[in-house]
Chains A and B, each alone.
Chain A
Amino acid sequence: MSCVVGIDLGSTTTKAVILDENCEVLGRGITNSRSNYDLAAAVARTEGFINARFGLVEQQLQATETAAMVSRLRRAFVMEQILQQLRRLEQLMLEETERSAPDHLKSAFRASIEEICRRIAVEEEQRFKQPPMLRSDFFRDAAGSAFMRIAEQLADPAGVSFDRLVGVYDKCIIRVENEPLDLDFRDHIGDALRRVGNPPGLADAVEYAVARDLEPSYTVGTGYGRARLPFPKEQIRSEILCHGLGAHAMFPGTRTVLDIGGQDTKAIQVDEQGIVTNFQMNDRCAAGCGRYLGYIADEMNLGLHELGPLAEQSKRCVKINSTCTVFAGAELRERLGLGEKREDILAGLHRAIVIRAMSLLARSGGVSDEFTFTGGVAKNPAAVHAIRDLVGENYGERTLNISPDSIYTGALGAALFASRIAA
């Protein structure tokens, strides 16, 4: 089957979208960008193809239980990937211990690491048996939080201390992230299938999906890491064009696009064909970008995904003046000191970001109907809430489009450019 790939190498996450010859989405993949862009692109692409093959599995199954069955298979597959990465992590940590731990602690160290990894594996197996729970897609986050928790329980302040364990983990997780592992569909689907009991219909569908040829004819790259992609120049497109075209493909009525990314915010105007007619980008600092929220989450000791829901509980939004990332931290601490509620402060911070974005939107030509919000921050309900309010206050009633796949908008646009080259 002929297909094309779009890769968006963002500053924090790397996304891939695979399209078939009718420009329908076959698969989507995402990974954290880490310090190795080449690998991030490869992993996102692999994830995209895995996703595409699951799509093929689904297509083959017409029965009513399809969704539940495939979802279970997916979870089993992800678990196999995680277990493989965990095995590699354990191996590296043991090697590191051999190399750097004091002799008298070597065996105690080994025992601790083996025990932590064993417990993580057990937790993962347990997790698979339970109904799916929301958590980060990335191995680093999943393994990291479990490691810290268990290491704290096992650590012996006099011997293998928590700090020493964390030191070994930190060193090795970077290596696991930065070396290519076999995480492809074909590498783990067999184990995943066995884990869900090898149901005959599903096994046939998997066989079909494995056998299908999915060779991309073209790939187009975008995002800050675009220069890393080994493509000729005509296969590189700017994020601004990709977000414009991607948003147009998701919502053809789109005329204004706002993308709040990790490092920058872009306000884009597009015509009826999705061609960019105007854009504005933030400058000077990361104020008002996704990273600002990351920083606030760190300041508050919260996960990034917890910020929005917490802010949504606010009854009285606190006015935050600073969108300077560092000053906002100072303002946040002062407000906490004054006894303001966390959720009210957070609501204020979200509004502050969106006020910055509104200024860019105004500079790019205002907010036309329909308005599409793209990028990772579009998943954050408090940011969406603030945008809805501020667009309404400034421009009156506008249709606000947000796709559940908004984070893939840039990659989708890139894939659409790839399909145009292929055609």
Chain B
Amino acid sequence: MAEALKDRSMLLQKEMIARHFERLARAPETGEPVVYTFVPGNLTELIRSFDALPVLPEINALQSGMRKLSGDYIAEAERAGHSEDVCTYVKCDIGMMRSGNLGPGGLKLPKPDLLLLSYTGCYTFMKWFELLREEYDCPTVMFHVPYQGDGVLEPEHRSYMLRQLREQVIPALEKATGRKYDEDKLRHNLALSAQAEDDLVAVLQAGKNRPSPIDGYFGTVYYVGPIFSAFRGTEEGVEYYRTLRAEVEERAALGLGPITPDGPLEGERYRLVVEGPPNWTSFRDFWKMFSDEKAVVVASTYTKVGGTYDFGFRHDPDDPLGTLADYCSGCYTNLNLPSRIDMISRYIEEYQADGFLINSVKSCNSFSAGQLMILREVEKRTGIPGAFIESDLVDPRYFSAANIKNRLESYFQMIDARRLGKTA
């Protein structure tokens, strides 16, 4: 994708990611410790404070999907006996590992020194790291984040997480890296996070403009990449978001629409809110189905899976472990259904959306269960019609272009008909 978008921020991102993977490839020689972890509820600032490098298997899987490699990796995992219906991120990752463990840039990924499992709303994560533990025979530590079943974080939940951080996670990191916990370093990283988060929120909220200068789903997937993965709490991350914000604010000031792989989008016709992850194997085709119809996603929930900053949360250097607990518990996948409904409804109102769409992922029950209830409730609350499509994360077999296009076109025409009906 990067070649089509030539903004400075994109080039920056490309460079920083390339550097990161080169460092990872060299890790066996340089001795830099490597920690595998997940996107929702990741403890990047803490990992970085031990001078360790994070690896995020989900990101590798989605990159493999975009590079059209996931089909082969999934087939490899299935040959090893994994069933067709299992989460395709897991199978893609297992397949990648069994095929030589070459990361997105084609460079070999190092083995983990520690598997840091942050559990935030997805049970499959646990099984995934159990499988990796079998392969790598390395230590695993679990950071259990209590599910926000009642929609709030209770004080005892918070102290439960703090205790885990102090008694399990930090000692495990100390052991794996051979370095002592350095709270000042962590504070420093958290302050950098907060800076980047401010700029990210400004970018996300640019979707409130008419026309929106960003696509809050397809385009924003790139925007959240650094902050969701290895670059939160880093100088590079801060620079990236500062640059990005300037670009987006300039587009907004000029009244320009978002940039798509086929060039700038002019003449915004539909403003949508999207719930659910995108499909990665047909990402461009999928995006094109929207941009061809001049449909712009003004906000999405997927771009909050690595943290919900737009309602005020910022990492706080004055409360280093407490803020990590707050952050983890507030990740989108850890929110209960009413909270997700509130969030979508709020987006529809604040971003003046004409519609909202659910992309239900077939191999992800964690994300997809309850989406119909969300759809109904949001429709009831906002009076805006919802649409429902089905695809998958990285299994190319589960993307039916004709079916999805048919539904999307129908949905856009339905919005048109309703507009005409209202004005008639």
Contacts and interface: CB of A to CB of B under 8 A. Distances in A.
Do A and B interact? yes
Interface of A: 224, 237-241, 264, 271, 273, 275-281, 283-284, 363, 365
B166 interface: no
Max chain B Cβ within 10 angstroms of own Cβ: one of A237, A271, A278: A278
A363 B406 contact: no
A203 to B, nearest CB: 46
B385 A238 contact: no
Given A276-B417, A284-B390, 12 more contacts: A224-B406, A237-B413, A238-B406, A238-B413, A240-B414, A275-B417, A275-B421, A277-B418, A279-B414, A280-B388, A281-B403, A363-B388
Chain B binding surface SS class: helix
Contact of A264 (B376, B386, B403): B403
B407 interface: yes
Max chain A Cβ within 10 angstroms of own Cβ: one of B379, B390, B400, B414: B414
Contacts of B372: 363
A277 B403 contact: no
Contact of B414 (A241, A264, A273): A241
Contacts of A276: 410, 414, 417
Contacts of A284: 362, 390, 398, 400
A281 B407 contact: yes
Closest 4 A/B residue pairs (Cβ)? A238-B410, A240-B410, A283-B390, A276-B414
B275 to A, nearest CB: 15
Interface string B330-368: 000000000000000000000000000000001000000
B262 interface: no
B410 A279 contact: yes
Interface string B369-393: 0001000100100000110101000
Nearest to A224: B402
A420 to B, nearest CB: 9
A275 B420 CA distance: 10
Contacts of B407: 279, 281
B409 interface: yes
A363 B368 CA distance: 14
Contacts of B414: 240-241, 275-277, 279
Nearest to B412: A238
Given A264-B403, A273-B421, A241 B390 contact: no
16 contacts: A224-B402, A224-B406, A238-B410, A238-B413, A241-B414, A276-B417, A277-B414, A278-B379, A278-B385, A279-B410, A281-B407, A283-B390, A284-B362, A363-B372, A363-B388, A365-B376
Contacts of A280: 388
Max chain A Cβ within 10 angstroms of own Cβ: one of B379, B385, B400, B410: B410
A352 to B, nearest CB: 21
Contacts of A237: 413
Given A275-B421, A363-B372, A281 B406 contact: yes
Contacts of A281: 403, 406-407
Max chain B Cβ within 10 angstroms of own Cβ: one of A239, A271, A281: A281
A238 B408 CA distance: 9
A275 B406 CA distance: 17
Nearest to A274: B417
A86 B343 CA distance: 65
Contacts of B379: 278
A275 B416 CA distance: 10
A238 B390 contact: no
B407 to A, nearest CB: 6
A239 B410 contact: yes
A278 B418 CA distance: 11
B400 A241 contact: no
A325 to B, nearest CB: 15
A364 B331 CA distance: 30
A239 B390 contact: no
Nearest to B391: A283
Nearest to A272: B421
B382 to A, nearest CB: 14
Interface string B259-271: 0000000000000
Contacts of B390: 283-284
Contacts of B421: 271, 273, 275
A279 B375 CA distance: 12
A275 B403 contact: no
A278 B387 CA distance: 7
Nearest to B417: A275
Given A238-B413, A363-B388, A283 B403 contact: yes
Max chain B Cβ within 10 angstroms of own Cβ: one of A264, A271, A279: A279
A283 B400 contact: yes
Given A273-B421, A280-B388, A363-B372, A238 B409 contact: yes
B403 A241 contact: no
A11 B322 CA distance: 59
Contacts of B410: 238-241, 276, 279
Nearest to B407: A281
A279 B407 CA distance: 9
A276 B409 CA distance: 13
B65 to A, nearest CB: 19
A351 to B, nearest CB: 24
Nearest to A245: B417
A295 B307 CA distance: 49
B124 to A, nearest CB: 21
A275 B411 CA distance: 12
Nearest to B292: A233
Contacts of B388: 280, 363
A239 B414 CA distance: 11
A277 to B, nearest CB: 6
B397 to A, nearest CB: 10
Contacts of B398: 284
Nearest to B360: A283
A264 B403 CA distance: 9
A294 B407 CA distance: 24
Nearest to B376: A365
A283 B406 CA distance: 11
A322 to B, nearest CB: 16
A276 B387 CA distance: 12
B369 to A, nearest CB: 14
Contacts of A273: 421
Contacts of A239: 406, 410
